[in-house]
Amino acid sequence: MTTPTAADPPGIEAIRAFPKVELHVHMEACLSAERIEELAAGFGIPMLRPIESLFVYATLAEFLEVYEWWCDLLRTAEIAEQLAYDAAAQLSADGIVYAEVLCGPRYWPHLRREPLIEALAAGLERAHGDGHADCRLTPSISREQSAEWAMGLVEWLGASGPSRVVGLGLDGNEELLGRTSPKFTEVYARAAELGLGRTAHSGESSGPDGVWDALEHLHLDRVDHGVRSIEDPRLVEHLAANGVTLNVTPTSNVITGLYPDVDHHPVGPLMAAGVPVTINSDDPKAMNVTLSGEFEKVSRSLGWGLGEVAAATRRAIDAAFCDQEKAASLHRQVDDHVRGLTREPAGKDHHP
Ligand code: ADE
Ligand code: ZN
């Protein structure tokens, strides 16, 4: 048996036990293949593919096609409520204590957006009441949707959205849809007036131009992905100088073909350049990813210990859209955990 040293990356159990925060995770991708099969059978709909290959994709476009297929099975408010509950329980089981979960009404054609968001919020509320992670919602516009639709969403969120809604997101395939950020300038300005946090996917299916565009037109608080910023040194400098947080998702970027493996992911170079980066799972069930697993891979690749896991968690808390009181309590939870870790070796001596 070898003795762990400071240079050893933390084991998965130590990472799982760490009170983590996730800012980039999609509700619809928290649905398991087994639950999809069950829903399909219930509605008498044949599976798109055999269950073993359902979650196999080579590109973002293919992933989003399959995503749209299984989302079509999410047909009732009860299914939505249960999915949200199960997602919170699943994130909790991975040691996540706070998450902001994206949900895309465009992917739920059988439900109107208002009852959908209310049902998801109710599921998260019930889960938190049962002791699971405190999960908030970030409704996400799809880039192909109209500005009118998006403005309607934002006005409703401001007037009578559930209190678990904390922000606004934007996602979709920029490679296919082209330059769509300018379309949502007024929508994002209104979201800011209404106190919603602002994030958007860019720099995944778009290059640095997509990130510049999103920053200029949407005045983002943070960016989902943003990894292709690394291709433009001036943009990297801008992100670092302005403290714009990138919510990166290493395995998801490998699966959709952006990078050959996590060792070639730009998370390390972005951090070395001073960009605030958080680690996230993106699509847990649909890409067989957990946040703990992502931290383990990044730790192995970059030589991180639990100190770096703690630092990334603190950056996530600082970039979260919750109120200051909640952020302070999350910081305290991290501090307490870290204090317990440093006390542990001495504590052990006292046990017989
Ligand atoms: N929806 C879910 N995951 C996504 C991703 N990685 N990029 C764009 N849209 C998404
Ligand atoms: Zn995403």
Task: Check if 86 has its Cβ closer than 6 Å to any atom of ligand 1.
Answer: no
Q: Give the pLDDT of residue 42.
A: 98
| CA dihedral sign of residues 70, 73, 74, 79 | negative
pLDDT tens-digit series, residues 325-344 = 999 999 999 999 999 998 86
The residues facing 225 across adjacent strands are 202
Q: Give the pLDDT of residue 7.
A: 54
Q: Give the pLDDT of residue 350.
A: 36
C-alpha–C-alpha distance, residues 307 and 111, integer Å: 44
2 CA → ligand 1 middle, Å: 41
Q: Give the pLDDT of residue 155.
A: 98
Task: Check if 204 has its Cβ closer than 6 Å to any atom of ligand 1.
Answer: yes
Question: Please, which residues have CB within 8 angstroms of residue 257's CB and are 6 or more apart in sequence?
Answer: 58, 59, 60
Phi, psi (degrees; rounded to nearest 5) at 69: -65, -50
Q: Give the pLDDT of residue 119.
A: 98
- The pick from 60, 106, 249 for probing ligand 1's pocket by mutation, whose C-beta has the most ligand atoms within 8 angstroms, reads 60
Q: For the chain, which residues score pLDDT lower than 70?
A: 1-7, 344-352
What does the DSSP 8-state code read for residue 281? -
Question: Please, which residues have CB within 8 angstroms of residue 306's CB and are 6 or more apart in sequence?
Answer: 10, 14, 15, 18, 338, 341
C-alpha–C-alpha distance, residues 85 and 132, integer Å: 9
102 CA → ligand 1 middle, Å: 10
